[in-house]
Amino acid sequence: MPTLIVLVGPTGVGKTAVSLQIAQHLNTPIINVDSRQLYREIPIGTAAPTAIEQYMVKHYFVGTQSINDYYSAAKFEAEALLVAQTYFEGGEKILLASGGSMLYIDALCKGIDDIPTINAETRELLRQKLIHQGLAELTRELKLLDPEYYELVDKKNPRRIVHALEICYMTGCTFSSFRKRTKKERPFNILKIGLNRDREEMYARINQRVLEMVRNGLFDEALAVYSHRNKNALNTVGYKESFLYLDGLITREEAIRQIQSHTREYMRKQLTWFKRDKDIRWFHPDNIQEILKYIDKNS
């Protein structure tokens, strides 16, 4: 049976560099598992693989969508599995996936629930309600319509609140009723590798990376997509703070500080999620030879 290597780790840990070395060692392309690097308009703030890196190794799911497109973990699951199926049917035995988007990684490895696709009318209705009524009001509505999911959901995450209400509105059923959490079988073995560093080292790397993004034009990139600021693709660290700066609500220095702080917070959230997965074998990113030996032995 063929093997899918899944390289995971928090933002800023150095996944791109390690993934390139693994891909070149195995002579395999990379399935990119990042829910924001999909969008072609925002490569700086998402630290997407550069043109040179994509020339070195073929990447799937980098810059393939517009911020105006609707995309979901369910769609990624279907499309990524098709890539893997086609690749393995061609006679190849090993393929690499790499990224840090927790839900997308689960979608690829375990599958996600078959939740109905939201139609454009319902999506626009909830988008307008979020703009005009605010997250607090939608959260109260979710408590009435789906109290079970209300107890579980991150109440500071508008995307999760809105999506649950979209399902309630469109189907007349609770979002909870679609959440079966059944792991799907895959026609390939999965070997998970995690990258991590000392916490202080991670903080320093994140702080430096944000400064590099700013030097590379993060605020100019945010300005270019400013008119689309309400799109879900831009509801993410780096752009929310940049928009506050562009609105004149915070200084440039404060925007940078907030991006660094919120990125460190997201890094901790990723690690908490990944640490629950006992199938992940952890390495320091500098130990590339150990990583390659582990792959060669187990794939």
For 136-166, the pLDDT digits (tens) are: 999 999 999 999 889 988 888 888 899 899 9
Work out how many domains the chain is built from and give that number: 2
Q: Is 247 exposed, middle or buried (0-12, 13-18, 19+ CB in 10 A)?
A: exposed
Q: What is the pLDDT of residue 157?
A: 87
Tell me the percentage of the chain whose pLDDT exceeds 70. 98
Q: Is 182 exposed, middle or buried (0-12, 13-18, 19+ CB in 10 A)?
A: exposed
Q: What is the pLDDT of residue 144?
A: 92
Q: What is the pLDDT of residue 118?
A: 84
d(CA 66, CA 35): 12
Regarding whether 94 and 236 lie in a shared domain, the answer is yes
> What CATH number is associated with residue 158?
1.10.20.140
Q: What is the pLDDT of residue 170?
A: 85
Regarding whether 255 and 194 lie in a shared domain, the answer is yes
Q: What is the pLDDT of residue 177?
A: 79
79 or 70, higher pLDDT: 79
Could you tell me what percentage of the chain is helix, strand and coil, using 3-state DSSP and rounding each to the nearest 5?
A: 55, 10, 35
Q: Is the pLDDT of residue 2 over 70?
A: yes
Which residue, 141, 159, 178, sits at the end of a domain?
Answer: 178
Q: What is the pLDDT of residue 278?
A: 95
Regarding whether 136 and 262 lie in a shared domain, the answer is no
Q: What is the pLDDT of residue 92?
A: 95
Q: What is the pLDDT of residue 230?
A: 85
Q: What is the mean pLDDT of the chain?
A: 93
pLDDT (mean) for 224-240:
92
* Residue 109 pLDDT class (50, 70, 90 cuts): very high
Q: Is the pLDDT of residue 43 over 70?
A: yes
Regarding whether 198 and 69 lie in a shared domain, the answer is yes
Q: Is the pLDDT of residue 24 over 90?
A: yes
Q: What is the pLDDT of residue 113?
A: 66
Between the CA of residue 111 and those of 43, 156, 175, 179, 193, what are the distances in Å? 27, 25, 17, 12, 19
Q: For strand 189-195 and strand 94-99, is the pairing parallel, antiparallel, or unpaired?
A: unpaired
pLDDT (mean) for 5-19:
97
Which amino acid would we find at residue 96? L
For 82-100, the pLDDT digits (tens) are: 999 999 999 999 999 999 9
d(CA 185, CA 5): 16
Regarding whether 227 and 139 lie in a shared domain, the answer is no
Q: CA nearest 179: which of 74, 62, 45, 290?
A: 74
Q: What is the pLDDT of residue 71?
A: 87
Q: What is the pLDDT of residue 114?
A: 66
Regarding whether 237 and 124 lie in a shared domain, the answer is no
Regarding whether 20 and 91 lie in a shared domain, the answer is yes
Regarding whether 245 and 137 lie in a shared domain, the answer is no
* Residue 35 pLDDT class (50, 70, 90 cuts): very high
> What CATH number is associated with residue 228?
3.40.50.300
Q: Is the pLDDT of residue 211 over 90?
A: yes
pLDDT (mean) for 277-294:
97
Regarding whether 213 and 155 lie in a shared domain, the answer is no
pTM for the predicted model, two decimal places: 0.83
Q: Is the pLDDT of residue 181 over 80?
A: no
Tokens representing 236 are: 């993410």
Regarding whether 207 and 219 lie in a shared domain, the answer is yes
pLDDT (mean) for 13-23:
97
Regarding whether 152 and 192 lie in a shared domain, the answer is no
d(CA 245, CA 210): 15
Residue-number span of the structural domain to which 162 is assigned: 120-178
192 — phi, psi (to 5°)? -100, 130
Which residue, 178, 200, 226, sits at the end of a domain?
Answer: 178
Q: Is 296 exposed, middle or buried (0-12, 13-18, 19+ CB in 10 A)?
A: exposed
* Residue 77 pLDDT class (50, 70, 90 cuts): very high
pLDDT (mean) for 21-34:
97
Regarding whether 168 and 71 lie in a shared domain, the answer is no
H or E element: which one contains 91?
none
Which residue, 157, 178, 199, sits at the end of a domain?
Answer: 178
Q: What is the pLDDT of residue 81?
A: 96
Give the position of tokens 């300005």: 223
